[in-house]
Amino acid sequence: MNDKHLTASELDLYVENELTAPARAEMEAHLATCATCRAQVAFDQEMSRALRVLPRQEPPRDLAARIDSAVQVRVAQDQLRRARMPFIFAATVFSALLLVWFGFQLAVAFQVNGTFDFVSLLTSRPDIFSTDSIDAIWALIDAVPIGEIVLTLFALFTVIVLAQQWVETIRPPSSHSGYTHAH
């Protein structure tokens, strides 16, 4: 033991006087030759004395009831979360189908309105905006299927929100779930 320092657990056992006589004698032999371990023992003994003189506070009488109540609330929340899973999953799937439908309708509207043809005309002839700018702007507004774009974006937003809710429902809650304790 003289070639290395005492571990924290060995020091604790020594300070708390929980060693057998041979083990204590061996540690005292080490302490006689190791200033670092002696300093650590002195510090640990001082901390132990300081902790012993601190007033002890009894736990509140209703501590067990508060813990039990918190556990019951957590169990109820978990049951409610599990009960919602099928509904949130169904709403997510339905919203994804709506997104596909609105996306299809958007593609059809782009084709029917000739939006892609109009955009290719604008890129090949940028002078359109300089000569008949008002007519070109109205034609662009008329060619872009704004209603279908808005509906598709709303459907996409709904799918994202519902998918996030579904993932949060199936994922176990984190240990930092916002519970606070009353003093």
Q: What's the rounded Cα separation, in Å, for the pair 3 and 164?
A: 58
Q: What's the rounded Cα separation, in Å, for the pair 116 and 136?
A: 14
pLDDT at 94: 92
Low-confidence stretches of the chain (pLDDT beneath 70): 1-3, 121-122, 125-133, 136, 172-183
How many other β-carbons are positioned within 10 Å of the β-carbon of residue 115?
16
pLDDT at 178: 47
pLDDT at 78: 84
pLDDT at 3: 63
Q: Take residue 121 and report the two structure tokens written for it.
A: 């005309």
Task: Give the pTM.
Answer: 0.47
Question: Amino acid identity of 89?
Answer: F
Q: Terminal CA-to-CA distance of the chain, rounded, Å? A: 47
Q: In terms of residues, how long is the chain? A: 183
Whether the CA torsion 98, 99, 101, 105 is positive or negative: it is: positive
pLDDT at 180: 45
pLDDT at 147: 86
Angle, vertex CA 21, rays to CA 16 and CA 27, nearest 5: 65
